[in-house]
Amino acid sequence: MSSAVGSDQTQLSIQVHLDGFSVFKQKDSTSHLSFTQFAALKNWLQNQDTKHVAKLVYTTPATLVPEELFRPDQAADYLKYHFHKSNHVAYSTLKSMGIMVVFAVDQNLEKELASLVSDISITHSSYELVRRALASPHKEWLRFVSIFHPEHFEVVFHKGNQLISYNQFPIHGELDCSYYLKLLHTRSSFKSEKAAIICYENGSQWGRSNFKTINDWASDAQYITEIYPFL
């Protein structure tokens, strides 16, 4: 579907979490609205003056599969430990990287949202994060690029256009992100190299406190609050 934005339309990013939804507006991407139930989100959309162009971003579990090993008819098997069989599976191709991003989608949700907005596009946060990280012009830099969600964070560990790992980790306290980044680094073959750290805020209650603990040992780490139109 087209994601072109008309001059009289407001672009929305609607993020789908395991326990609710977050909505970011193009005109104010540093703050967001939260909804625990779809009914509340639906009511908010119905009460807007105009229909919006929306980008639906799933932040739920996903998996990355090398393109040469990927089989479309077996896509659901990659997620069978995360979701019930009733979930539908979608996949996106990071062609230049030879990677398939596999994630579950809610077709009923998408159908309802499509009737509430003027246009909608579908993506997953892992696809957007990996694509953004590996497009870095700094080909020799070792980097962690992460984004905070309400109850978890995603992190891409890479060197130039080489993907070392992609992970999602839960967040229960202010030390979690720091712990997992150090763990990934020390267990990799790049542990003797210093890694740059970039963290994207995304309306998470844990973002700033986790970044503070990272900043204690990585003083040059970056914390970015402007995430739109990234997500």
Q: Is the pLDDT of residue 8 over 70?
A: no
Considering the domain boundaries, does residue 113 fall inside one?
no
pTM for this predicted structure: 0.88
Backbone angles phi, psi at 137, to 5 degrees: -75, -10
DSSP state of 51: P
Considering the domain boundaries, does residue 10 fall inside one?
no
Band the pLDDT of 201: cuts 50, 70, 90: confident
Considering the domain boundaries, does residue 122 fall inside one?
no
Q: What is the CATH number of the domain that holds 194?
A: 3.30.420.260
Q: Of residues 168 and 29, which shows the higher confidence score?
A: 168
How many CA atoms, within 13 angstroms, populate the side-chain half-sphere of residue 119? 11
Q: Hey, what's the torsion of the CAs at 39, 152, 143, 100, to 10 degrees? A: -60
Q: Is the pLDDT of residue 78 over 70?
A: yes
Considering the domain boundaries, does residue 140 fall inside one?
yes
Pairwise CA distance, residues 206 & 184, whole Å = 20
Considering the domain boundaries, does residue 134 fall inside one?
yes
Pairwise CA distance, residues 11 & 154, whole Å = 24
Considering the domain boundaries, does residue 194 fall inside one?
yes
Considering the domain boundaries, does residue 150 fall inside one?
yes
Considering the domain boundaries, does residue 145 fall inside one?
yes
Could you give the number of structural domains in the chain? 1
Q: Which pair of tokens denotes residue 203?
A: 């309306």
Range of the domain at 189: 127-224
Q: Which pair of tokens denotes residue 178?
A: 């720091």
Q: Is the pLDDT of residue 7 over 50?
A: no
Tens digits of residue pLDDT in 160-198:
889 999 999 999 999 999 999 999 999 999 989 989 999
